[in-house]
Amino acid sequence: MTESTPKQFLSTAEVAKYNTAAWDKSAATGGIWSTPVTSEDVDLARRGAVRIKLTPSKLVPAEWLPALSGLEVLALASGGGQQVPLMAAAGANVTLVDLSEGQLDVDRMVAKREGLSINTVKADISDLSMFEPDSFEFILHPISNLFIAEIEPVWEEAFRVLRPGGTLVSGFNNPAIYIFDWRDHERGVMTVRHQLPFADATDLPPEEREGFIEDGITLEYSHTLEQQIGGQIDAGFEIIGFYEDRHDELALAHYMSTSIVTRARKPLLGDTN
């Protein structure tokens, strides 16, 4: 195999390195998840109107957000200057964990602009060993675990660092979107092609995957609902909330939901319900 010949498979480390660079570029160019909130948004949050999205369209229900003033909050892979500044403006002590320095920089920029205090940590969200157990009272996790090959550690680590009675709100893709050929889907044509679960790193032909990389398209992993929802339950969480959303730019959104958000609770000590 020559150096110019695409590799048959990419390792998880290679995918993480590439995706991190792609997110750094998104942060520099103002991608959809890298466009910071406005000063008006921050002012509303200071007055108690915290308008947060974890998926493309719908806001997280206000009743899903605890009273944020003085709350210890962990934001998982939530860089990009969107959710974190709003929670900080509402009075929360927010720690942001993200693997992209560029995404973290957007939050730092907003924090400086608005006079907010946030703690940023460059790390993989599947390893939160830098935090003690029961460190946080609320965890927010926008769509992002599609960039991680094995998501069970994400749920296990979130459960470990969350205090009993605390909640985790998570967004993730409906796995159905990965059935289709992505290039066709971008043109509005839904061609059933892939068997699930699917990963760009291992299941795309090498030449096609190289085309994605040349175009700066992130490499993704689909996960089953058993892994997404069942994985939270297996980690010890109780699912206490659920809603669906649609990404209008996807052809599939004309027919069904394309993303899901769950609200999960860590039981109180001694709680047998």
pTM: 0.94
Domain co-membership, 126 together with 42: yes
| 255 within some domain | yes
pLDDT, residue 3, reads: 52
pLDDT of residue 1: 40
In the chain, the number of structural domains is 2
Q: State whether 183 and 238 are in the same domain.
A: yes
Residues 112 and 188 in one domain: no
Q: Are residues 105 and 27 both part of a single domain?
A: yes
Same domain, 120 and 203: no
Return d(Cα 117, Cα 197) in angstroms, integer.
Answer: 40
CA pair distance 97, 104, nearest whole angstrom? 8
- Asked if 141 contacts 76 with a C-beta cutoff of 8 angstroms, the reply is yes
Task: Say how far apart CA 210 and CA 111 lie, in whole Å.
Answer: 37
Neighbours of 225 (CB within 10 A): 13
Is 159 inside a domain boundary?
A: no
Consecutive 10-residue runs of the chain (273 residues): their mean pLDDT? 71 95 94 95 97 96 97 98 98 98 98 98 97 98 96 98 98 96 90 96 94 94 97 98 94 94 93 64
> Is 201 contained in some domain?
yes
How many C-alpha atoms does 28 have within 13 Å on its Cβ side? 9
Residue 159 neighbours by CB distance under 10 Å: 19
116 lies in the same domain as 180: no
Residues 21 and 119 in one domain: yes
Q: Which two tokens stand for residue 163?
A: 């205090």
Cβ-count burial 105-125 (b if 16+ within 10 Å, e if not)? bbbbebbeebebebebbebbb
**Whether residues 113 and 182 fall in one domain:** no
One domain for residues 49 and 122:
yes
Question: Which pLDDT belongs to residue 111?
Answer: 98
Q: Which residue range forms the structural domain that includes residue 196? A: 172-267
Judge if 53 and 104 occupy the same domain.
yes
Strand 136-141 to 162-173 pairing: parallel
Whether 244 is covered by a domain: the verdict is yes
Q: What is the number of H-type helices and E-type strands within the chain?
A: 10, 7
